Amino acid sequence: MDVFVGAEYIIANALIALGKNGIDQVRLSTLQSFGIKVQRLCIENSIDAVFLFSADRVSAAVYNFSDYFTFIDSSEEPAIGLNSTAKIEDLEKRFIGYLPIALLKIIINAAQELKAA
């Protein structure tokens, strides 16, 4: 059975991993690479997951979860950041416990390899 994973889970886990290194935003290109890596790892590990990660879905996730995320329109490259009123702990409470364990492990392990945005 396929698991559908919204863009908000990819964004949240990227921000959780980066936040532990004192970074509160992730560039869209880094986020895209992270999403592709997670999808590839799921395929390699025979985990049936569908990632809803198009540009429209990412925009919708930032809008729908504005309590957690904010869009940063930078001259260098657009990014998604942690909302000024949210904390990493808030992301962990909201976005970690709702995915199957095998899929969650892949996302968390891949997120730990993220570098500064």
Examine residue 86 and state whether it is found in any structural domain, yes or no.
yes
Tell me the average pLDDT of the chain: 87
Examine residue 99 and state whether it is found in any structural domain, yes or no.
yes
Examine residue 116 and state whether it is found in any structural domain, yes or no.
no
Instruction: Count the Cβ atoms, other than its own, within 10 Å of residue 98.
Output: 10
**CATH code for the domain in which residue 64 is found:** 1.10.10
The interaxial angle of helices 28-44 and 7-19, nearest 10 deg, is 110
Can you give the C-alpha Rg of the chain in angstroms? 13
Give the type of residue at 8.
Answer: E
Q: Where are the alpha helices (DSSP H) in the chain?
A: 7-19, 28-44, 55-64, 88-95, 101-111
pTM for this model (two decimals): 0.85
User: Domain residues for 38?
Assistant: 3-111
Examine residue 85 and state whether it is found in any structural domain, yes or no.
yes
36-68 confidence digits (pLDDT tens):
999 999 999 998 888 888 889 999 999 999 999
| Terminal C-alpha separation, the chain | 34
Instruction: Count the Cβ atoms, other than its own, within 10 Å of residue 104.
Output: 17
At 111 the pLDDT is: 86
Q: For the chain, how many structural domains are there in total?
A: 1
d(CA 70, CA 2): 29
Examine residue 106 and state whether it is found in any structural domain, yes or no.
yes
65-75 confidence digits (pLDDT tens):
999 999 998 77
Contact 25, 72 (CB under 8 A): yes
pLDDT over 50 at 117, yes or no = no
Examine residue 117 and state whether it is found in any structural domain, yes or no.
no
81-95 confidence digits (pLDDT tens):
999 999 999 998 888
